[in-house]
A and B are shown apart, each in its own frame.
Chain A
């Protein structure tokens, strides 16, 4: 069932004079405002079905307008500006030469440093995503399955860290992981270590802090994606002879995969664009795209390179989201059957 198929219920309503509606395939009358009067040539088919949405379409468009304008101002225009900037070239001292060339792209893509940055960004993303999923999954599974009357409270507690800014939480982790931190002081006090462990000011610290910071997002995404979990399914599997571990592997895990996938996307994307945590706890050693963009724009005054890096980050997002959509489709097909997989 697609969104635009003619609806017999509406076909029964008194047909308006066929106006601007367009074909059922078109996004709706809102797409062709102003064109009143004669029916669209290709609307010959289910004309009544097409006209039915004339006024709802206008209302919808009117309702969407503020949002669309805001989107245009805050998203489309800056994006165009960034794209334009990426085609400029930087001269010494941060002077920008207005031009239309791919020289900055060539420079960035030809530099092993920037490839290293992209690689470290992806590495951090993968590590953080894996760690976050591993620690969030049991929590989310428990929260999704519990029938306790404290469930809402527990869910609220699980996401409560969101109330505290990630800056504050990162500083908290620095206090825990630093050479003078709780962990090292404890290990030292117990005589377990002679020299402090390097838990902060490096990738390890960034991964640990980011994991905790993205946990609430992952837990929320998972809980909302665990809709297919049903205790009856686990009971059915057990009754058919499956021990607990097999029930988890064969039933619970596959049914929760869509939620896990959504959480993975969310955490991965957040981590790719994360600036605060790598900057604060990375000790200047963790070069990721977000910090590099900042450094290029602020320290080096090289706006074209910063713009190119932003475009590359967007491209990475695009790839990640495409992968997600593909994986989601593949997963959905397992539930709906290959024939009826949602297009």
Chain B
């Protein structure tokens, strides 16, 4: 189906994947064409972000530092005024509402706990602002602290808490007011690796229990994939792709997403035609490889993504037709071994990752045969949102 709708130059601005339309009835938080430019700075920090989050779901905005994800979050919170675009929550346009009338629960990267107040009074702050009656306030604070399992530390000062405890207080403080949306800015970046894993589960549990619509920003793909219902990958101020964690990982639409989320071999080639759902792509050194994904018209350039762990290695046998290669290096990493394999004599270099314990590891110089299952190669678009303007 060579006449499948090819991507038009203007298309990349729209989020790829299965984003429901911003006007979708289920969407609770809707960002509509958010733009932020700073005077005196070239280019925009955020160049038109459209996003929709369904009620009670958790969206991760994933991207490298400087991609505009934090600015986007701050525009939702009202801390940064958008240059253009609208923010809607539950159908209400809050773009022009001041921060303190937005009903957002925000957890800052530094937690931003009030050092002069104890844990309970930190948590109570938002309720006091809402003029919650005393009895209610006490009960709600206690409940919120129970929710984050800090009931026993209510009287502590912030300086007396560990990083993880501070994180929980920040969560409790943001959640106790039952906000319309919970915003988390790099919530785990200040914790050490072990605590991070624990807090990840904790945040998921709390989000499930409260059912609050949540947006969190992270540069850590593991965090995004494991916690969120949906992931929006951002780069250069734009959303590259939105989808379920599986979509993002298994079916990246663009080479940037493939590279940023997990490791990927990206192989350039030429489309030679269709084979059912697959596009046949001629790849240097690998021959004609069928790849799933947005079809590319015959003769067009196509990039094929091959995840390292989807490639199997076996000792080279005499058979023909198989892809053969030479192991250049093998890095033992406990659960896996990371190989670099040269395909053929001067073919492309491939990263291959194999679990340990299933086969005897190959040493450098070993001649191997590379195989992958039919679904492994994916077509990804090379178009980069950033370069759009030059076309």
Contacts and interface: CB of A to CB of B under 8 A. Distances in A.
Q: Classify A-B as touching or not with yes or no (CB < 8 A).
A: yes
Interface string B88-108: 000000000011111111101
Nearest to B126: A240
B105 A239 contact: yes
Interface stretch (A78-86, A107-115, A279-287, A331-339): A331-339
Contact of A230 (B98, B110, B118, B130): B110
B106 A239 contact: yes
Interface stretch (A10-18, A48-56, A121-129, A241-249): A241-249
B159 A335 contact: yes
A245 to B, nearest CB: 11
A270 interface: no
B116 A240 contact: no
User: Which of under 10, 10 to 19, 20 to 34, or 35 or more describes the interface residues of B?
Assistant: 20 to 34
A243 B100 CA distance: 6
A255 B112 contact: no
A314 to B, nearest CB: 34
A241 B103 CA distance: 7
Contacts of B130: 241
A236 interface: yes
A21 B77 CA distance: 59
A236 B159 contact: no
A196 B77 CA distance: 56
Interface in A299-343: 334-337, 339-340
Contacts of A197: none
Given A236-B106, A236-B108, A337-B159, A241 B116 contact: no
A251 B100 contact: no
B204 to A, nearest CB: 22
B156 A235 contact: no
B112 A240 contact: no
A235 B115 contact: no
A246 B129 CA distance: 9
A235 B99 contact: yes
Interface in B102-135: 102-106, 108-110, 112-116, 118, 125-126, 129-130
B173 interface: yes
Nearest to A258: B116
Contact of A337 (B102, B105, B110, B157): B157
A240 B177 contact: yes
B160 interface: yes
A232 interface: yes
A334 B78 CA distance: 30
Given A228-B115, A255-B116, A335-B116, A239 B99 contact: yes
B115 A239 contact: no
Contacts of A155: none
Contacts of A336: 157, 159-160
A226 to B, nearest CB: 13
A156 interface: no
Interface in B324-358: none
B115 A241 contact: no
Contacts of A134: none
B10 to A, nearest CB: 36
Contacts of B98: 238, 243
Contacts of B105: 239
B195 interface: no
Contacts of A340: 157, 159-160
B41 to A, nearest CB: 14
B79 interface: yes
Interface string A208-241: 0000000000000000000010101101111111
Interface in A124-180: none
B115 A237 contact: no
Contacts of A250: 125
A251 B160 contact: no
A233 B160 contact: no
A181 interface: no
Contacts of A233: 112, 114
A239 B125 contact: no
Contacts of A337: 118, 156-157, 159-160
A254 interface: yes
Given A228-B115, A246-B129, A255-B116, A239 B104 contact: yes
A236 B110 CA distance: 10
A105 B79 CA distance: 63
Residue picked from A233, A236, A240, A250, most chain B C-beta under 10 Å: A240
B208 to A, nearest CB: 23
Contacts of B115: 228, 255, 335
A235 B79 contact: yes
A241 B112 contact: no
Contacts of A232: 108-110, 112
A251 B114 contact: yes
Contacts of A242: 100, 125, 129
B159 A239 contact: no
A339 B177 CA distance: 30
Nearest to B110: A232
Contacts of B156: 337
24 contacts: A230-B112, A232-B108, A232-B112, A233-B112, A235-B77, A235-B106, A236-B106, A236-B108, A236-B114, A237-B114, A237-B125, A238-B79, A239-B77, A240-B126, A240-B129, A243-B100, A250-B125, A254-B116, A334-B116, A335-B157, A337-B118, A337-B156, A340-B157, A340-B159
Interface of A: 228, 230, 232-233, 235-243, 246, 250-251, 254-255, 334-337, 339-340
Q: 9 tightest A-B contacts by CB?
A: A241-B129, A337-B157, A240-B126, A236-B112, A232-B112, A238-B99, A239-B106, A254-B116, A334-B116
Given A238-B99, A337-B156, 12 more contacts: A228-B115, A232-B109, A233-B114, A235-B108, A239-B105, A240-B125, A240-B126, A243-B98, A254-B116, A334-B157, A336-B157, A339-B160
